[in-house]
A and B are shown apart, each in its own frame.
Chain A
């Protein structure tokens, strides 16, 4: 039973308050650091109250780091990945839940197992595919000796053209789209949709695609918002993959750029922490805004699957 005494109330609030401070303190320091000039930010101890150079620091950072085009790239990538994930996840879950075919459960578990294979694990083969998207097919042709057979029969060798995705939005987006989390989330949601809705739609003459579009998708709005929010933050924060696939600075993302403005002794740069911190806050802002605006939907999508 939950006890309610004034003492316990105060204690719980104190613990919660301490947690809040613990969480917010680093952010506060980042903010404070971004409002001082070069000298103050490097004094020990650093002041814990904002200084007067905020506007100047932020304007300088924005211009120096080319955040305009970089943020646009990040936005294109994040939106692309998010939309792609929602489309792939909803379609694959639809197939797994609503259609009866052989290997259905095997396929589901195959998808599910990839939850345990983050991008970092498969990054080398993924890079190889991004460098030439048709290479797996070429490999299949080579291994199965279809090419030799064709050579024998028709005197032609099958050589697929190279199709590389490096330095393109496609390369940034496509390899990140496959999503076990999303498929799982959608599967769980589809399982809660009463079967009678499907039957009613059948009686109303609606085919599978129509049912998906007219009934399942509108019903999964909250689900979609939750998935979209998580995935937007996830893809906005991608660092390793863009770093690998993009060498042309015009496709660089904001998070990649952030690394360049962090000073390092490696380059013999002076520790311009005030600029780095201002940049950090700017890069944090878009995902933060998305979470704030989507919060209501987001929570609903994660908590209540029914009604």
Chain B
């Protein structure tokens, strides 16, 4: 079991800095998912843990030992690559057993361990095939078996599922989670797919432009996004965002003049500009003509099978309302909605940071 401690780590390529001082503590046995749009530095961070990229400043420690200067092989990590990176000239068995061969493990023991690991991932019959003769999912399994055979303390996954088709991706996702529980190592998984991230993670790390935006359980991140970026990035469809002006604690005004009530304990300065966020599934549809209702002019309705998404405009901003199956309006040009005050998230309009409850009224 190993924990990873990342302190003030930075990385730049030439003049462009891609990771700006990241701090992260990962405790042993955790499944951590690093999520972010492409180019946010998430893969770089993972590769710095693995030792494939040098660290410009800061420090990474694994199990209490600073590994900044250690070679990848001495860090006790195993990695699964996005393109699998299987050795094309070796059979599946040789691929899986290569690290043992390098380590000088005797042939008989190697064969036994390769067979064991191959059986775990369901590749027992394919040991003599070449990677070129396998399907994408099978190659992915080989890559995982290759990572598992060293019995590493830490598994690193660099977008391992992005080359698989949707159905296989779901299946492999479940298998990865199952393997994590069975093997009991620490896993760090990088992805840009939020569904993957939400379903796999014990804790989720959301990154943007080389910085960590938020760390938390998937539930925390979904329900209490720390910034507008996180709110927008997590959740499908993303959270609706509207510009508003705070009149007094608990009351804001939209551009059209419509008044919105929010949780009065939130520390919103009267007179300031804020961004008001609400999840599409938390928008309440009210009967036409209700008092204080907002009017969404609908553009089109998306069919999801399990529900519907109504897209429209509210105050000239794109606005989405989610409906359960069979409850969507058939064809209407406007929709009247209201926002429950507890579902409203407020973000500072300039910094994009979440507006938290005032300290004295903080529930905890």
Contacts and interface: CB of A to CB of B under 8 A. Distances in A.
Given A202-B52, A203-B73, A219-B89, A196 B81 contact: yes
Contacts of B81: 196, 199-200
Contact of A205 (B82, B87, B102): B102
A307 to B, nearest CB: 8
A205 B98 CA distance: 9
A199 B71 CA distance: 11
Contacts of B102: 204-206, 210, 214
A72 interface: no
A214 B87 CA distance: 10
B99 interface: yes
Nearest to B47: A199
User: Interface range on chain B: under 10, 10 to 19, 20 to 34, or 35 or more?
Assistant: 20 to 34
Contact of A203 (B78, B82, B83, B89): B78
B73 A204 contact: yes
Given A202-B73, A203-B73, A214 B85 contact: no
Interface string B29-58: 000000000000000000000111000000
Interface in A256-298: none
Contact of B87 (A197, A199, A221): A197
B103 interface: yes
B156 to A, nearest CB: 8
A200 B88 contact: no
A141 B13 CA distance: 44
B98 A214 contact: yes
B85 A205 contact: no
B144 to A, nearest CB: 13
B77 interface: yes
Given A194-B83, A196-B81, A196-B83, A205 B99 contact: yes
Interface string A57-98: 000000000000000000000000000000000000000000
A218 interface: yes
Contacts of A210: 102
A215 interface: yes
Contact of A215 (B52, B87, B147): B87
A148 B50 CA distance: 54
A12 B83 CA distance: 45
B345 interface: no
B141 interface: no
A202 B70 CA distance: 12
Contacts, number: 60
A197 B88 CA distance: 9
Contacts of B71: 202
Nearest to B74: A205
Given A194-B83, A196-B81, A196-B85, A203 B98 contact: no
A203 B50 CA distance: 8
B137 interface: no
B79 A203 contact: yes
B89 A205 contact: no
A218 B103 CA distance: 20
Interface in B72-125: 72-73, 77-79, 81-83, 85-89, 98-99, 102-103
A162 B91 CA distance: 52
A194 to B, nearest CB: 7
B3 to A, nearest CB: 20
Contacts of A201: 87, 98
B72 to A, nearest CB: 5
A203 B73 CA distance: 5
B11 interface: no
Contacts of A204: 73, 98-99, 102, 146
A254 B139 CA distance: 52
Interface string A142-181: 0000000000000000000000000000000000000000
Most chain B CB atoms below 10 A, which of A197, A199, A201: A199
Contacts of B132: 307
Nearest to A193: B88
Nearest to A210: B102
The 3 closest A-B pairs by CB, nearest first: A205-B73, A196-B85, A204-B99
Given A199-B79, A203-B50, A203-B79, 5 more contacts: A197-B87, A200-B79, A201-B98, A205-B103, A219-B88
Interface of A: 194, 196-197, 199-206, 210, 214-215, 218-219, 221, 307
25 contacts: A196-B82, A197-B85, A197-B87, A199-B52, A200-B81, A200-B86, A200-B87, A202-B51, A202-B52, A202-B73, A203-B50, A203-B52, A203-B99, A204-B98, A204-B99, A204-B102, A205-B72, A205-B73, A206-B73, A206-B98, A206-B99, A214-B102, A219-B88, A221-B89, A307-B88
